[in-house]
């Protein structure tokens, strides 16, 4: 049972409902209870959700159910722990910097692999699912996408959601409750600042377990190299990422923050404006300015400490004007080379992801309390 107040979530009730839903009891390492508790506290005190149990509550409970199922998966398939996850690179730019395009281009190579949206959303087999045939999860994911686009009608013009295309690993990190997804979808600023200051190593160790379970289900991936991508790495997770994958190459996508910040505020608005009584457009510019600035400052400091060449920079304008040439440069710098098969796959990817296939994204900086002049002052350190 939930707490008496229908507007309030309870950690214990969410845990119990997950146990009841799955019939499982073992959550494994309970380190996640600290971020879960912080998230629930901030949802209750700040988010102003009209129907918290139907939105955040369902999302959190689903994540908890998946944690139970993951522990059980390794009990049933202990050999899955032996899967080797070979990561070729991680795209780490801020949102709206061309990171999605670069991710899809890299993942298009026949030698690479990446998460698909359907499996990030439904990473473990459904009851009765035949081994090697994830069709039921794929069909369910398509239904979820349709519902999301119904609930967030502006989203199609902002960021492409498709069940069968590559997706961000932050969707898996949501199950750790250390994730930028939560403050992007809800007005929980205290949680956002808090999670960015935490040690994310255990979250990324959980991510590694998820990837092992997913690769175990698709043995054809063995021998392919993984491509990761999510802005969450810069907005909180970078330290954890590098503790778990210390030598991984980082592809930093760069764009003028004046073009990035209002666009991201608009994306977050599309997910929050109709579900919250506390969300205010005019407050979002200041919040995401602080989050972006902290992330970029920390990354700038970090890269001074990394070995030369571990970070590869990509300019948004290059990605837009010459996506194939930019991909060839990045793959060459990664030491992967670039052959005819890579080129053909990349050309098909570019054709499939043409921007003019989606509606135009309409927004203004001013509605989020932003001006180009103020953004330039806030991020002047990036010019140094």
Give 207-254 pLDDT, tens digit per residue: 999 999 999 999 999 999 999 999 999 999 999 999 999 999 999 999
User: Which domains does the chain carry?
Assistant: 86-383 (3.40.50.300)
Which own/partner contact pairs does 295-298 have at CB distance under 8 Å and 24+ positions apart?
295/94, 295/196, 295/234, 295/235, 295/236, 295/238, 296/94, 296/234, 296/379, 296/381, 296/382, 297/381, 298/238
Percent of the chain exceeding pLDDT 90 equals: 85
**Contact partners, residue 133, CB within 8 Å, separation at least 6:** none
Mean pLDDT of the chain: 93
d(CA 44, CA 295): 26
pLDDT for residue 361 is more than 70:
no
Q: What is the pLDDT of residue 319?
A: 96
Q: What is the pLDDT of residue 384?
A: 55
Confidence of residue 150 (pLDDT cuts 50, 70, 90): confident
Q: What's the whole-number mean pLDDT along residues 349-376? A: 82
Condensed to tens digits (0 to 9), the pLDDT of residues 254-288 reads 999 999 999 999 999 988 888 899 999 999 999 99
pLDDT for residue 146 is more than 60:
yes
The neighbour count for residue 30, using CB atoms within 10 Å, is 10
pLDDT for residue 318 is more than 90:
yes
Condensed to tens digits (0 to 9), the pLDDT of residues 81-135 reads 999 999 999 999 999 999 999 999 999 999 999 999 999 999 999 999 999 999 9
Confidence of residue 370 (pLDDT cuts 50, 70, 90): very high
Please, how many CA atoms are within 13 Å of residue 248, restricted to the half-sphere of its CB?
A: 26
pLDDT for residue 32 is more than 50:
yes
pLDDT for residue 193 is more than 50:
yes
d(CA 84, CA 212): 7
pTM: 0.94
Q: What is the pLDDT of residue 93?
A: 95
Q: What is the pLDDT of residue 353?
A: 82
Q: What is the pLDDT of residue 4?
A: 42
pLDDT for residue 381 is more than 50:
yes
Q: What is the pLDDT of residue 332?
A: 98
CB 242 within 8 A of CB 248: yes
């Amino acid at each position: 049972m939930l707490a008496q107040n229908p507007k309030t979530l309870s950690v214990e009730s969410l845990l119990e409902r997950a146990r009841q839903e799955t019939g499982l009891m073992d959550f494994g390492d309970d380190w996640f209870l600290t971020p879960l508790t912080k998230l629930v506290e901030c949802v209750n005190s700040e988010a102003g959700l009209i129907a918290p149990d139907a939105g955040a509550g369902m999302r959190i409970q689903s994540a908890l159910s998946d944690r139970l199922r993951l522990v059980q998966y390794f009990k049933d398939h202990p050999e899955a722990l032996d899967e080797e996850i070979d990561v070729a690179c991680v795209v780490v730019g801020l949102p709206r910097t061309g990171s999605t395009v670069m991710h899809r281009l890299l993942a298009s190579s026949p030698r690479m692999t990446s998460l698909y949206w359907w499996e990030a959303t439904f990473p473990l087999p459904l009851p009765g699912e035949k081994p090697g045939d994830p069709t039921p999860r794929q069909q369910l994911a398509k239904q979820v996408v349709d519902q999301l686009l119904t609930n967030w009608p502006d989203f199609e013009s902002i960021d492409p959601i498709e069940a069968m295309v590559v997706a961000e690993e932050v969707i898996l990190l949501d199950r750790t409750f250390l994730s930028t997804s939560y403050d992007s979808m809800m007005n929980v600023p205290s949680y956002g600042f808090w999670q960015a200051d935490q040690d994310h190593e255990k979250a990324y160790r959980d991510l590694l377990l998820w990837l092992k379970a997913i690769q175990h289900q698709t043995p054809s991936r063995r021998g392919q190299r993984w491509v990761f991508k999510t802005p969450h790495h810069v907005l909180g997770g970078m330290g954890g990422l590098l503790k778990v994958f210390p030598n991984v190459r980082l592809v930093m996508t760069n764009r003028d923050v004046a073009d990035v910040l209002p666009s991201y505020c608009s994306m977050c608005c599309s997910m929050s404006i109709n579900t919250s009584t506390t969300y205010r457009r005019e407050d979002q510019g200041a919040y995401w300015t602080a989050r972006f600035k902290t992330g970029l400052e920390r990354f700038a400091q970090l890269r001074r400490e990394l070995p030369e060449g571990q970070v590869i920079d990509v300019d948004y304008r290059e990605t837009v004007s010459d996506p194939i040439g930019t991909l060839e440069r990045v793959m060459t710098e990664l030491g992967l080379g670039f052959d005819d098969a890579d080129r053909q796959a990349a050309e098909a990817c570019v054709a499939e992801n043409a921007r003019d296939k989606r509606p135009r994204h309409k927004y203004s900086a001013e509605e989020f309390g932003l001006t180009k002049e103020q953004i330039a002052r806030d991020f002047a350190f990036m010019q140094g």
